[in-house]
Amino acid sequence: MLVVGVADMKVSGNSEDVIVTYALGSCLGVVVHDMQAQVGGLLHAMLPHAEINPEKAKANPAMFIDTGVPLLFQAVYAAGATKKNLKIYIAGGAGNDNFFAIGERNIIAIRKIFWKNGYVISGQEVGGTIARTMHLEINTGKIWIKTTETRDC
């Protein structure tokens, strides 16, 4: 099992791997998977825009949606994935902090990036007020989300 921490990303082409990230509250988990190439990746991003702190973005682009998502796509393409075969899933973006609305801003940022680049989200489990754990099984492409109950995405 490959564990993705906060502000982290993992990509695998090993069909035996399961990639997981825990405690997606306002953070956003982004999974991309190419079933044909048996390649997938998972990003756990904290904040929507790198302009908030360019120094941190340079040191750790996975911290931000707008720098982490391109990095994730570059990595899965380098591992053999192709755009036409990609399935994309997102989870998280909970509204635990209504004043800053970070979860909502993360969801808006990711949707805007995908729309601008011609990607379609295949499945999502976003919003609300609960934390989520997100899993990706490389060999099957199965994504599942755990909250108080387990659900397929």
| Residue 90's CATH number | 3.30.1330.200
Residue 118: pLDDT over 80: yes
Confidence of residue 94 (pLDDT cuts 50, 70, 90): very high
Domain total for the chain?
Answer: 1
Range of the domain at 130: 2-152
pLDDT at position 148 is 64
Q: What is the pTM of this model?
A: 0.94
Token pair of 112 as six digits? 């805007």
**Percentage of the chain modeled with pLDDT above 70:** 95
Please check whether residue 41 is in contact with residue 75, taking contact to mean a CB–CB distance below 8 angstroms: yes
Q: Which residue, 119, 110, 126, is CA-closest to 26?
A: 126
Alpha-helix runs per DSSP H in the chain: 54-59, 65-78, 102-116
Tens digits of residue pLDDT in 25-83:
999 999 999 999 999 999 999 999 999 999 999 999 999 999 999 999 999 999 999 99
Q: How far apart are the C-alpha atoms of 29 and 91, rounded to whole Å?
A: 5
For residue 74, the one-letter residue type is Q
